[in-house]
Structure 1
Amino acid sequence: MSAEQAEDLVEQRVGEVVDRLRATHRRGVTKPLAWRHAQLDALAALLLEQRDTLYAALKADLGKSADESLVTEVGLLQREVAHTRRRLRGWLRPSPAVVPLPVQPGTAATVLEPLGVTLIIAPWNYPLLLALSPLIGAIAAGDAAVVKPSELAPATSRTIADLLPRYLDARAFAVVQGDAETTSALLEQRFDLVFYTGGEHVARIVMRAAAEHLTPVVLELGGKCPVYVDESADLDVAADRIAWGKWMNAGQTCVAPDHVLATRRTAEALAPRLAAAARRMFGDDPLRNDAYCRIVSERHFDRLHGLLDPAKTASGGGADRPALRIEPTVLTRVGDADPVMQQEVFGPILPIVEVASEREAIERVADGPKPLALYVFTRRSSRRAWTTGTSSGSIGFGVPLLQLAVPGIPFGGVGASGMGAYHGRRSLTAFSHEKALLTKPTRPDTVRLLSPPFTELKRRVLARFTG
């Protein structure tokens, strides 16, 4: 079979999947609230009953311990399913709107309706969480969905493909595995929403493909997430929290601290504390610690290894290519021209960049690409300056990452770090269309006041209504 024939076969296969799901959605299978509740319950059962299987897959792909898999993937999904299940009925109630005088008597409201057939493209760094968390929103909204797991996390991809059809309604949900060719074939199809999590380069491809069908997109991207620490912070606590946020999943987290901004005095005090925090978490030999994750592939390992600079290494720096592990590493005296500052690190290397003042740090963040997350360890009186003087997907004052655990606030980027948001109720709205409803009785027929001929009486009435 030629390459062209193979490509045609892949496109035909995914086209058949999408057509099948669209037929299901058109029949109204996914719309009843009872069906949505049943699917959420089934997903909750999958996460509970197959926990060990999921842990094994994450271990195979990223070297994640069961504890880290629970904290960062399975546990987050369980809480999100429960949160959505409890509140979905209330979220779906019509939302009334005020009707202006010229439209009275009448009533207005908005209702959330399913978008239709959606595509979820998941990344490799949290291959379970970032495949199933958007799916919760699709289920809640009453959509059908195709889930495309990352081929760079093959064990998790296979596990998702095996388990989802056993628990969820296979008429409405499908898992399509494959490489970039398969993703391209999927993007050739017409979807009603494409939800993509990953890097900026592929996001541009997704947007171009979606534009062909005028399909809306949600893009959850990344970028360099800065941390500012000043002299007023409790440096021991700050170091522990930054270390936890940075070296979880070996730094392969889109909202992980990418680099630290601090004055020279603070930087010199913080660097050894970060090293001590790494030792507390992973011991003196993190390369042999089962609680420490590995890098996902040789290609990513080689990229990260090229960012190490022995002359600027304050701690860590060791690496084991066969094991795909790089020690938690702190770099100091880092400048903008250094390779580690020319790209998103997305690994266990933490550069510290010296700034002259907090004002310089704010200006630096404000002048750069808008980050997905910004973290600030400073006095309470400075928080307003950071909130109003910078733009980012989120700000964590005093802690990184934990914004992900709050379902009542949106998770999403701005500018190059993404568009659209989800989590909690916003996952429902991301996968829904908010439809406007207006009801006006035929008597009294006040619409005549808005139509010719415009008498003096009508003009006086309209002046009163619009004045």
Structure 2
Amino acid sequence: MSSIAEIIDKQRRFFEAGASRSIPFRKAALKKLSVAINGYESEILQALADDLGKSAFESVATEISYVQSEITHTLKHLDRWGASESRSVGLASFPAKAKVIKDPYGITLHIAPWNYPFQLSLTPLVSAIAAGNTVVLKPSEYSEKTSELLKKIIEEVFDPAHVAVVLGDAQTSTELLGHHWDYIFFTGSVAVGKIVAKAAAEHLTPCTLELGGKSPCIIDGTAPIELTARRIVWGKLLNVGQTCIAPDYLLVHDSIKEPLLKALVAQIEKAYGRSAIESEDYGRLIHPKHVVRMQRFIGECSVYYGGETDESECYVSPTILVDVTLDSSVMQEEIFGPVLPVISYSDAKEMDQWLRGHPNPLAFYVFSKNKSFAEELLTNYSFGQAAVNDTIMMIAENSLPFGGVGNSGYGSYHGKYGFDTFSREKPVLYRATWLDLPLRYAPYKGKLKALKTLLGINSRLS
């Protein structure tokens, strides 16, 4: 097994040899990856079931097809994305032309999380390969089966000098971060994101941090209750709440709080039955310690619905909490599980107090038939991305960037935004040789008026 230093050295030499700069080479690599994913579909489904208890439907919808869609979209547009772009030039440079070259960064490190271990490992990888980089992927040790399978697939598809997978725990991540990379892409917690940013800063390495936060869901008195409840339950309990953009807590107008609570319960039981532990569509938390976190949250608030847990099964039932305060521990950290605090507000000032207490969330949700109410919220608050009258689904659009702000991260990807993230725009000016005006050359005596005329300074001031 090659050491990390050896892998980096091989990838450096591979990148400098120039093969990955070829658009046909990149497209061929992505096509080969797509074929391999199709061939390993049953093994991928089993690995995700073993790691997270995911149903085949969820695994296909949120992991496998998501990656395949990203590959398809990228292949369709890569020729255009990768082409150099002409730029206009000013009179000062005449005669000349200019362009921007899309240049890959080089050797990239990707540290992926466990919650969507297939999708969040491969989607950034697709963008990095499309842009002409090499990749070292470090998947999560918590999603062990999926990580092992990813390594197997990657080794079948790619030369390790192009793409390699390194398995290991946090110590391995620390070792990887100690090396000099040309770009780092990290998805995970805020705490670890800060560690990654510090490590990147040591080498002035650019990075993207996809983190998290407490994503609010605001429901006003005009929202259609049954539809709102159905879409919230789906978004909250997808992957058992282990989704970085899941609705973290509800802020509901007090005029509809009780009807909405009843509708939430009805939708939970419609989706998973009265005992979710028996549902084949309801997954499990990744580790028993995450069950313990949920138990702490549940124990500090009033349980409106649910509250059942089983550490041995990594199980926490769909749970609704009420009588929550800003000081409750469930409001001090991202929940990342199937526990949903429901908080009522009576006016904009009260709602604002809750929202300002958790600034810059990764996602922001509004349910309302009042367009001006929704637009005012979208204008006045900072967030990574938002949806009105739905949850989660903005992430399915290749035309939209995905990324955070402040504590929820920085940088973005998906579609062309991913290609741009892993590309540097190299500007180039081409000067002609048949004309060389003497104005810019010393001595400058007697040339100032002509310079101002050429640059339009006098006309701009008049």
Shift of 1:456: 4.1
Q: Which residue of 1 aligns with 2:277?
A: 287
1:322 match: secondary structure: helix
When normalised by structure 2's length, the TM-score is: 0.96
Asked if 1:75 is matched to 2:94, the reply is no
Shift of 1:169: 3.0
Q: What is the CA–CA distance in structure 1 between the aligned matches of 2:301 and 2:188, rounded to whole Å?
A: 32
The 5 A counterparts of 1:177-192 are 177-192=167-182
Q: Which residue of 2 aligns with 1:7?
A: none
Q: What is the CA–CA distance in structure 2 between the aligned matches of 1:450 and 1:229, rounded to whole Å?
A: 63
Contact 2:305 2:320 in 1 (8 A): yes
Q: What is the CA–CA distance in structure 2 between the aligned matches of 1:66 and 1:210, rounded to whole Å?
A: 37
Contact 1:120 1:145 in 2 (8 A): yes
Q: What is the CA–CA distance in structure 1 between the aligned matches of 2:221 and 2:304, rounded to whole Å?
A: 20
Q: Which residue of 2 aligns with 1:399?
A: 390
Asked if 1:114 is matched to 2:117, the reply is no
Q: Which residue of 1 aligns with 2:420?
A: 429
Q: What is the CA–CA distance in structure 1 between the aligned matches of 2:348 and 2:119, rounded to whole Å?
A: 35
Shift of 1:83: 0.1
Show CA shifts across 1:155-182 (max 9, x none). Answer: 0010001111102233301000000111
Shift of 1:333: 2.2
**Residue 389 of structure 1 is aligned with which of 360, 380, 392?**
380
**Residue 138 of structure 1 is aligned with which of 120, 128, 133?**
128
Q: What is the CA–CA distance in structure 2 between the aligned matches of 1:358 and 1:155, rounded to whole Å?
A: 47
Shift of 1:123: 0.3
Contact 1:310 1:317 in 2 (8 A): no
Shift of 1:313: 1.2
Shift of 1:98: 2.1
2:25 match: secondary structure: helix
Shift of 1:358: 3.5
Q: Which residue of 2 aligns with 1:269?
A: 259
Shift of 1:92: 1.1
Q: Which residue of 1 aligns with 2:16?
A: 26
**Residue 257 of structure 1 is aligned with which of 232, 243, 247?**
247
Give the total of aligned pairs.
456
Show CA shifts across 1:86-136 (max 9, x none). Answer: 100001111222212212221122111110000000000001111000000
Q: What is the CA–CA distance in structure 2 between the aligned matches of 1:104 and 1:163, rounded to whole Å?
A: 53
Contact 1:194 1:217 in 2 (8 A): yes
Shift of 1:150: 0.1
Q: From the superposition, tell whether residues 310 and 458 of structure 1 become closer, same or farther in structure 2 (CA, over 3 Å).
A: closer
Show CA shifts across 1:352-389 (max 9, x none). Answer: 11222235424542453210010001211223211220
Deviates more, 1:360-369 or 1:244-253: 360-369
Shift of 1:147: 0.5
Q: What is the CA–CA distance in structure 1 between the aligned matches of 2:86 and 2:112, rounded to whole Å?
A: 36
Asked if 1:320 is matched to 2:320, the reply is no
**Residue 17 of structure 1 is aligned with which of 2, 7, 19?**
7
Q: Which residue of 1 aligns with 2:48?
A: 58
Q: What is the CA–CA distance in structure 2 between the aligned matches of 1:20 and 1:267, rounded to whole Å?
A: 59
Structure 2 unaligned segments of length 5 or more: list them.
Answer: 458-462
Asked if 1:341 is matched to 2:341, the reply is no
2:19 match: secondary structure: coil
Deviates more, 1:113-122 or 1:90-99: 90-99
**Residue 444 of structure 1 is aligned with which of 435, 438, 455?**
435
The code of the aligned residue for 2:25 comes to: W
Q: What is the CA–CA distance in structure 2 between the aligned matches of 1:450 and 1:397, rounded to whole Å?
A: 56
Deviates more, 1:247-256 or 1:306-315: 306-315
Show CA shifts across 1:390-449 (max 9, x none). Answer: 000011111111111011110000000001000000111111111111111122113x32
Shift of 1:214: 1.1
Q: What is the CA–CA distance in structure 1 between the aligned matches of 2:445 and 2:224, rounded to whole Å?
A: 73
**Residue 239 of structure 1 is aligned with which of 229, 232, 238?**
229
Contact 1:39 1:169 in 2 (8 A): no
Show CA shifts across 1:255-300 (max 9, x none). Answer: 0000001222222221111111111111111012121010100111
**Residue 30 of structure 2 is aligned with which of 37, 40, 65?**
40
Contact 1:230 1:263 in 2 (8 A): yes
Q: Which residue of 1 aligns with 2:460?
A: none
Q: Which residue of 2 aligns with 1:416?
A: 407
The code of the aligned residue for 2:377 comes to: W
**Residue 218 of structure 1 is aligned with which of 208, 225, 230?**
208
Shift of 1:310: 7.8
**Residue 466 of structure 1 is aligned with which of 443, 456, 459?**
456
Shift of 1:31: 1.2
Deviates more, 1:271-280 or 1:362-371: 362-371
Runs of 4+ in 1 over 6 A off after TM superposition: none
Deviates more, 1:237-246 or 1:330-339: 330-339
The code of the aligned residue for 2:378 comes to: T
Q: What is the CA–CA distance in structure 2 between the aligned matches of 1:178 and 1:115, rounded to whole Å?
A: 25
Q: Which residue of 2 aligns with 1:297?
A: 287
Contact 1:110 1:436 in 2 (8 A): yes
Q: Which residue of 2 aligns with 1:4?
A: none
**Residue 367 of structure 2 is aligned with which of 362, 369, 377?**
377
Contact 1:119 1:195 in 2 (8 A): yes
2:137 match: secondary structure: strand
Contact 1:449 1:462 in 2 (8 A): no
When normalised by structure 1's length, the TM-score is: 0.95
2:226 match: secondary structure: helix
Q: What is the CA–CA distance in structure 1 between the aligned matches of 2:316 and 2:100, rounded to whole Å?
A: 52
The code of the aligned residue for 2:397 comes to: V
Percent identical pairs in the alignment equals 36
The code of the aligned residue for 2:87 comes to: A
